[in-house]
Amino acid sequence: MESALRIELPPWLAGIAAGAVVLPAVDGRMAYVAELARRNAAAGGGPFAAAVFELASGRLVAAGGNLVVMSRCSSAHAEVVALSLAQQRLANFDLAASGLPDHQLISSAEPCAMCVGAVLWSGVKSLVYGAREEDVRAIGFDEGPKHPHWADALRASGIQVTADVRRRECATVLRDYAAAGGPIYNARNLRHRSKPRV
Amino acid sequence: MESALRIELPPWLAGIAAGAVVLPAVDGRMAYVAELARRNAAAGGGPFAAAVFELASGRLVAAGGNLVVMSRCSSAHAEVVALSLAQQRLANFDLAASGLPDHQLISSAEPCAMCVGAVLWSGVKSLVYGAREEDVRAIGFDEGPKHPHWADALRASGIQVTADVRRRECATVLRDYAAAGGPIYNARNLRHRSKPRV
């Protein structure tokens, strides 16, 4: 087999000088991530972005976009890309490891079933998202079988969960992507398979 | 930032000549994956493995192990590694894309909350697992807030779900790992955070 699994970052994303971005307010962090989502979609990715910040200082640790189609990897959601890059940069699989500052994941949209788990395992202490699940579903993407009380489960594990930060702005990125004919990948399967309604 | 997210494969895993392994029976496929889990643990990884096979022929497409600690990536569960490698090898983010044969994921253990989502997005048509969630929890790993009817949700999406294939053998790999003092990563956090009970 290959010697590694590689998720290539598009040049605009690889070019972000993480340490140079410092955004003290959560609202500003989301404005930054919403713009990343727009840029990711414009560059051929999905209309989703996420970024890991140091919770207190607002220093950017890593930014990710949805790279499913271009990286040929259905797990390359924005949250997984950002969390994994942050962990590799800090050389630790646990962003809550001793000696590290607390970390926050800012996501332009509510995490899907997979990403809820990815957030839980990552060690972040805070999750903030913009667009809601219904905004994501409205353009045809599925969110999968999420636990009905997933946010409470994260909170019980010590992760703050905050919704609706710049929701309208993030939802507009989704709608603009759909209006421009952006591919709703996996939609073929969803049509074939019928949406899970559990 | 870096130009790519890289999950290095340990040499023994990279050395598997996927196309050369053909296992017609599901039971034999699980025996192979249980042995991969044992080997992954022996090589410093977690006691979990997974592999993607062509459903009808039993040809191995890609094999993965849990590489969380060594690759410094909390999302590098065996299922995610195997599915992602299979997709990159077939140059498609969707293992159900037209022109491809049906695929099956064999996992040595019941998928966690994150991996349930990863399976759903991958395009596999069949999921077979060995050890149950309670076997995984018994040695201290958490499975996260899974939807209570996650298997039904996968089935509603056209994915067959089969449990308990060589469960005892796969559970023994878990117990032997714990008995040998293998790290139960994230256990520190789980102690701090209290286990989600939703």
Mean pLDDT of chain A: 92
Percent of all residues in chain B with a pLDDT value above 90, rounded to a whole number: 88
Report residue A161: phi and psi, to 5°.
-125, 125
Q: What is the mean pLDDT of residues A45-71?
A: 97
How many angstroms away from the CA of A173 is the closest CA of chain B?
A: 22
Contact B88 A2 (CB under 8 A): yes
Is residue B196 over pLDDT 50?
Answer: no
Q: What is the mean pLDDT of residues A46-67?
A: 97
What integer pLDDT is reported at residue B198 of this predicted model?
37
How many angstroms away from the CA of B32 is the closest CA of chain A?
A: 17
Higher pLDDT, A2 or B73: B73
Are B144 and A153 in contact, with CB atoms under 8 Å apart?
A: yes
A79 labelled catalytic:
yes
- Tell if the pTM clears 0.90, that is, is over it: yes
Mean pLDDT of chain B: 92
Q: How far is CA B135 from CA A1, A195, B168, in A?
A: 30, 30, 9
Is residue A46 over pLDDT 90?
Answer: yes
Quick one: closest CA in B to A144, which residue? B117
Task: Tell me which chain B residues have a C-beta less than 8 angstroms from the C-beta of A3.
Answer: 8-9, 14
Residue B97, burial from CB neighbour count under 10 angstroms (0-12, 13-18, 19+): middle
Contact B9 A14 (CB under 8 A): no
Are B74 and B117 in contact, with CB atoms under 8 Å apart?
A: no
Report chain A's terminal Cα–Cα distance, integer Å.
Answer: 38
Q: Spell out the alpha helix ranges (H) of A43-127.
A: 68-71, 78-90, 113-122
Q: What is the DSSP letter of A69?
A: H
What integer pLDDT is reported at residue A186 of this predicted model?
66
Lookup: tokens for A52: 């890991």
Is residue B3 over pLDDT 90?
Answer: no
What integer pLDDT is reported at residue A1 of this predicted model?
64
What integer pLDDT is reported at residue B18 of this predicted model?
82
Range of weakest confidence among A120-134, A181-195, B53-67: A181-195
What integer pLDDT is reported at residue A115 of this predicted model?
98
CA distance A89 to A141: 30
Lookup: tokens for A89: 């940069």
Q: What is the mean pLDDT of residues B53-72?
A: 97
Q: Which of A2, A8, A54, A79 is catalytic?
A: A79
Which H/E stretch holds residue A128?
strand A126-131
Q: How confident is the model at residue B185 (pLDDT cuts 50, 70, 90)?
A: confident
Q: What is the mean pLDDT of residues B150-154?
A: 97
- For B156-182, what is each residue's pLDDT tens digit? 999 999 999 999 999 999 999 999 999
Is residue A43 over pLDDT 90?
Answer: yes
Is residue A37 over pLDDT 80?
Answer: yes
Find, among B68, B156, B51, the residue nearest to B108 by Cα. Answer: B51
Is the ipTM beyond the 0.90 threshold?
A: yes
Contact A1 B8 (CB under 8 A): no
Q: Which residues of B are catalytic?
A: 79
Which H/E stretch holds residue B105?
strand B103-109
Contact B93 A185 (CB under 8 A): yes
Percent of all residues in chain A with a pLDDT value above 90, rounded to a whole number: 88
- For A123-176, what is each residue's pLDDT tens digit? 999 999 999 999 999 999 999 999 999 999 999 999 999 999 999 999 999 999
Is residue A182 over pLDDT 60?
Answer: yes
How many angstroms away from the CA of B159 is the closest CA of chain A?
A: 9
Strands of the sheet containing B160-162, edge to edge, are B60-65, B49-54, B103-109, B126-131, B160-162
Beta strands in B4-68 (DSSP E): 4-8, 49-54, 60-65
Higher pLDDT, B142 or A19: B142
What integer pLDDT is reported at residue A17 of this predicted model?
83
Contact A14 B5 (CB under 8 A): no
